[in-house]
Amino acid sequence: MKIGNSSPLSSEEKTELVRECVENFNLYLNRWPDARDVESAVVEWEGEGPIVRDVWGREFIDCLGGFGIFALGHRHPKVINAIKVQLDRLALHSQWMLNPMAADAARRLAEITPGDLRKTFWCSTGTEAVEGALKLARLYTGKKKYISTINSFHGKTMGSLSVTGRDLFRKPFEPLLETTFVPYGEIEAMAEAIDGETAAVILEPIQGEGGIIIPPDDYLPAVRELCTKRNVLLIFDEVQTGLGRTGRMFGCNHTGVVPDIICLGKALSGGVIPCAAFHSTDEIWRVFHPNPFYHTSTFGANPMATTAAAATIQTLQEENLVENSARMGEYFLAGLKRLWEQFPNLIQDVRGRGLLIGVEIINAERGESIASRMFERNVLVAYTLNKPEVIRIEPPLIITRELIDEALERFGDALKEESKA
């Protein structure tokens, strides 16, 4: 494959590209995505707004959104332009001088986060954001234990894996950090689990990979009260729920609960350059001050990533995308509920907030089959990692009613075909 080639490919070149891609995947990469064979391989090539195309020009409606990356869709022009300007000036940072983009993006983030949250550490992935939050909580409290929830997902590096609530991922890598897992949504279990050694509780305001689980309305306020009373920090992992996904800027805005530390990632990239962050108050952050080298990252605050973050926040605000997420989410949810009425033999539940929606199918096999039928109909969806019977719908926040109608029609066709199988 020619690197940096921007001219259109001939049919022969496309065939060769697909062959080479499958071969390289099978020889040189981890076994996911599954490359299988040249005949069945679908090789992604272009993206524009809510649409992704493969190398042959086959067009998919992106209702997966890169598992939450593409809040602004693919290659949003405002993000692309901002990054191009930055790229032409300074691509990466010296790490010695002050970078204005890192500072500007941090200010913008502090302006949209609730309460006294103000200080930011930039990193590149969600799992790193969680790692940093866990370290900060330990440093601030001087305690070493964590409380997390069953079926949660917080990442897969050693620290974040320690608080990820699925044995399948955790067991092969134990011993990990000391963590107690409690049922999501049950405050009594959490109250019982906290002891004198607990540094922090970590929670997703809505469990994403756990199957789009929305807790009872009084749960997060009760967790907040409990943590304050017992001197335990509250970390919200908003890597998936943050930045408009649930129809409010942050998942925690639905209840007005302010965490002590918030973790962000995915959408912060603007769908262009990896960017993530953990973010806390001046009071908690002061424990980093005696030694700013307690926690560092070479690429963390790089100007391309922080330009992407700044442009993302600005675009969400300028284009009212959080409101659009709420409106389009309601519309999508209503359409999916109609499909549930039509196919009660296949669908068990439809739930969600904003554009974070789960369709629970009667079992994982049927779920996988329906997701494949959607793919055949050029709609990208996927199951949730810790509850594979739930099909997630997580399209860009820029999605329109017309495209939702189209996706719903194809979903209906897929269900009709599945019900005959």
Ligand X SMILES: Cc1ncc(COP(=O)(O)O)c(C=O)c1O
- Using CB under 6 A as the binding rule, whether residue 353 contacts ligand X is answered as no
Residue 386 or residue 410: which is nearer to ligand X going by CB?
A: 386
- Using CB under 6 A as the binding rule, whether residue 386 contacts ligand X is answered as no
For ligand X, what does the binding mask look like between residues 120 and 159, x meaning CB under 6 A?
-----xxx--x----------------------xxx----
- CB of 152 vs ligand X, minimal distance in Å: 8
Told to judge if 135 belongs to the known catalytic residues of this protein, a careful annotator would answer no
- Using CB under 6 A as the binding rule, whether residue 358 contacts ligand X is answered as no
Residue 62 or residue 237: which is nearer to ligand X going by CB?
A: 237
Number of shown-chain residues binding ligand X (CB under 6 A):
15
Residue 198 or residue 241: which is nearer to ligand X going by CB?
A: 241
Instruction: Tell me the window of 111-119, 166-174, 233-241, 390-398 that interacts with ligand X (CB under 6 A).
Output: 233-241
Closest residue to ligand X, based on beta-carbon distance: 126
230 close to 194: Cβ distance less than 8 angstroms: yes
**Residue tagged active-site, from 153, 181, 236, 250:** 153
Residue 208 or residue 396: which is nearer to ligand X going by CB?
A: 208
- Using CB under 6 A as the binding rule, whether residue 204 contacts ligand X is answered as yes
**Residue tagged active-site, from 70, 237, 343, 411:** 237
Told to judge if 195 belongs to the known catalytic residues of this protein, a careful annotator would answer no
Strands 356-361, 387-393: parallel, antiparallel or unpaired by DSSP? antiparallel
Give the C-alpha separation, 135 to 132, whole Å.
5
Query: Taking CB under 6 A as the criterion, which residues in 54-73 touch ligand X?
Result: 67
Told to judge if 145 belongs to the known catalytic residues of this protein, a careful annotator would answer no
- Using CB under 6 A as the binding rule, whether residue 209 contacts ligand X is answered as yes
- Using CB under 6 A as the binding rule, whether residue 237 contacts ligand X is answered as yes
- Using CB under 6 A as the binding rule, whether residue 239 contacts ligand X is answered as yes
- Name the residues that contact ligand X, by CB under 6 A: 67, 125-127, 130, 153-155, 204, 208-209, 237, 239-240, 265
Q: Which sequence positions are flagged as catalytic?
A: 153, 237, 266
